[in-house]
Structure 1
Amino acid sequence: MSMLRKSVMAMGLLGVALSLSACGSPVASTGKKSNTLNVVFLPSDSAKEEDAARKALTQEIHKATGKKVNVETTTDYNVAIQAIATGKAQIGLMGPDGYVQAHKQSKTVVPMVTYSGKSGTLKDAYYHSYIMVPKAQAAKYKVNGKYSLKNIKGKRMSFVSNTSTSGFAIPAGAIKKAFNLKSTDDLSSGGKFFSKVLYGQSHQGSAVNLLKGDADVAAFDDMDLTQYGKFQNDATKAGAIFKINKDAPAPFTAVRGKESVAIAAYAVQNEPLVANTKTISKSDIEKIQKQLTSSSVTNNKLFFAPANAKVRGLFTKDGKTQFIKITDAWYKPTHDILGE
């Protein structure tokens, strides 16, 4: 059994230490008839810079359902997944892998909406996962003039979390395939494939590990980084250069202006907003879907912010980006990749 799967099984043993935005009281499980809904966010979506975006989402859910909505931010992916799987949170903004793991624990966890690509459809509703190295060291990772994973063995590696799709599952799966490993077990801790393994606990944290010099190689995605920096060239393939903005806020204040280069890039399906149907009614789910796919939300910069926006949106606006209703069937490629 892989370390990734072991970590998921061990979630029940973890303390569910959720941080509430409005009140400091413990989170209570709520049923379909409750007048309260709890919405949980992954660490990457729990940054202070996204306070306004989180508030905007909860306000729309309140408009749709008439119910009080609590925000639950987290510092651990396992905590967020466990919260939605057990029903302590009725709604959650999950990565594809986080959703698949929550769905595996409880089939009552289903996706409600995801956000489209530039076309406004699901045809390009994906983002990118990267394996990055510092720009100054990038040439060392070329084989016959092309970027390769061949020279990452024995390096210090930073992942996001072992339950992150683009920050662990996808890159670890690619490394497993490239080196013909039996599983990803040896990739999750130091002293085996890598000399040292770090976990940033967010995509921002993993990037900082790399740019500060604590790691030689790092995995993170573009979706969580584009409001802190800019790609200098084609962001869809190996060779993509990412540069931190000169005025980037925390946690990038100490690495402003630094650059990293992707030695590998992988397409990942966009993240879903999910619901646990055991603790939220079908009627409420349909109301939320209708509200979030409305033009007022589509045009709200707190949901879809321009890349240069001063206030961070929940997602970056690109072309006709909007929310689209989905079902579990749309995530079949992710289910297949992860074997879940």
Structure 2
Amino acid sequence: MTIWKKTMMAAGLLGVAVSLAACGKGSLASGGKSSDTLNVVFLPSDSAKEETAARKALTTEIHKATGKKVNVQTTTDYNVAIQSIASGKAQIALMGPDGYIQAHKQSHNVQPILTYSGKSGTLKDAYYHSYIMVPKAQAAKYKVNGKYSLKNIKGKRMSFVSNTSTSGFSIPAGAIKKAFNLKSTDDLAQSGKFFSKVMYGQSHQGSAVNLLKGDADVAAFDDMDLTQYGKFQNDSTKAGAIFKINQNAPAPFNSVRGKSSVAIAAYAVQNEPLVVNKSKISDKDTNKIIKQLTSKSVTNNHLFFAPENAKVRGLFTKDGNTKFVAISDKWYQPTHKILGE
């Protein structure tokens, strides 16, 4: 599975398409501390078919910890996931930093309990990267004085992930706002304003496909959701990073296998949290979940932390001593500050 800007929430959630996949019978329950059922909601980027086994692994561990039935809610829209955890229809959610901030704004009962560490096994390197990418064949057009620049993206066809995605909208849009001295990012979200056309992939994979298929000239997406579909050919932490899709990449990349994109900008993002709605889950169950997910058995489980070349996709990519680490809202204060929330 957006730090630079205060994101817009889409006006209303009526009519938004949602896909529900239940681990057991029934749809989303209303929850409650005394409920025997817990509902876990996933963002679109974590709702892909390839992550079915990883989602099941997470719900299995939550069941082991609490003894409760656990249902899965996959989504096709970020707003649905945010609304679900904020309202308490879901009691647990795996979210991006900006999605968490938005849910927390709607209800302070939404609190982070875990994130995954960096290579060191600690929080000091617990971040990933957001990119503004262009097709490799067009990359030279985005250089100014020999260096990659955002200067030439105005008027292009732009693909974001979702206007509530941390690394797929808020960070890149905030960077563009700053580079062009814009008053807000509102115009960046609409076709015919700053960009000739604006589209939303509704997942990081979808945004990358928009670019590689030629539907977009420029696209925003992160590395965390793409590294199991391809590989970086050089330093992935800065502008100039080249990302190439694997020759055997599954859908949705099966039509763009072997194609490459180049980052004209790269930004660090705090790792995503696992959050709970404290009004709908007891502290006792929350503590049990933290203990279970920080255990060695989970740390060593490839369905949670998969090697880079794993055939079955995990929730996250294993890098060094990657593992879950307990956190609180305090750890996300840098994100709160930058987003102004």
TM-score by structure 1 length? 0.97
Task: Say if 1:114 and 1:273, in contact at 8 Å, map to a contact too.
Answer: yes
Q: Which residue of 2 aligns with 1:5?
A: 8
How far off is 1:93 after superposition?
0.2
- Aligned 1:141-152 pairs, distance under 5 A: 141-152=142-153
- Aligned 1:147-296 pairs, distance under 5 A: 147-296=148-297
Q: Deviations over 1:149-175 (max 9, x none)?
A: 000000000000000000000000000
Task: Say if 1:229 and 1:243, in contact at 8 Å, map to a contact too.
Answer: yes
Task: Say if 2:6 and 2:170, in contact at 8 Å, map to a contact too.
Answer: no
The amino acid of 1:5's aligned partner reads M
Task: Say if 1:36 and 1:69, in contact at 8 Å, map to a contact too.
Answer: yes
* Residue 339, structure 1, aligned to residue 334, structure 2: no
Instruction: Give the distance between the partners of 1:218 and 1:59, measured in 2 at CA.
Output: 35
Task: Say if 1:238 and 1:262, in contact at 8 Å, map to a contact too.
Answer: yes
- Aligned 1:32-71 pairs, distance under 5 A: 32-71=33-72
Q: Deviations over 1:72-97 (max 9, x none)?
A: 10000000110000000000000000
How far off is 1:20 after superposition?
2.3
Instruction: Give the distance between the partners of 1:3 and 1:296, measured in 2 at CA.
Output: 38
Instruction: Give the distance between the partners of 2:168 and 2:92, measured in 1 at CA.
Output: 22
Q: Which residue of 1 aligns with 2:330?
A: 329
Task: Say if 2:160 and 2:198, in contact at 8 Å, map to a contact too.
Answer: yes
Q: Deviations over 1:59-114 (max 9, x none)?
A: 10001001000011000000011000000000000000000000000000000100
How far off is 1:302 after superposition?
0.5
How far off is 1:181 after superposition?
0.3
Query: What is the SS of the residue equivalent to 1:220?
Result: strand
Q: Deviations over 1:210-256 (max 9, x none)?
A: 00000000000000000000000000000000000000000001100
How far off is 1:22 after superposition?
3.4
Q: Which residue of 2 aligns with 1:88?
A: 89
Task: Say if 1:11 and 1:79, in contact at 8 Å, map to a contact too.
Answer: no
Give 5+ residue unaligned stretches, structure 2.
none
Task: Say if 1:244 and 1:259, in contact at 8 Å, map to a contact too.
Answer: yes
How far off is 1:27 after superposition?
1.6
Q: Deviations over 1:240-278 (max 9, x none)?
A: 000000000000011000000000000000000000001
How far off is 1:23 after superposition?
5.2
Instruction: Give the distance between the partners of 2:19 and 2:226, measured in 1 at CA.
Output: 24
Task: Say if 2:16 and 2:77, in contact at 8 Å, map to a contact too.
Answer: no
Aligned-residue CA RMSD in angstroms?
1.3
How far off is 1:30 after superposition?
1.1
Instruction: Give the distance between the partners of 1:158 and 1:23, measured in 2 at CA.
Output: 36
Task: Say if 1:3 and 1:188, in contact at 8 Å, map to a contact too.
Answer: no
Give 5+ residue unaligned stretches, structure 1.
none
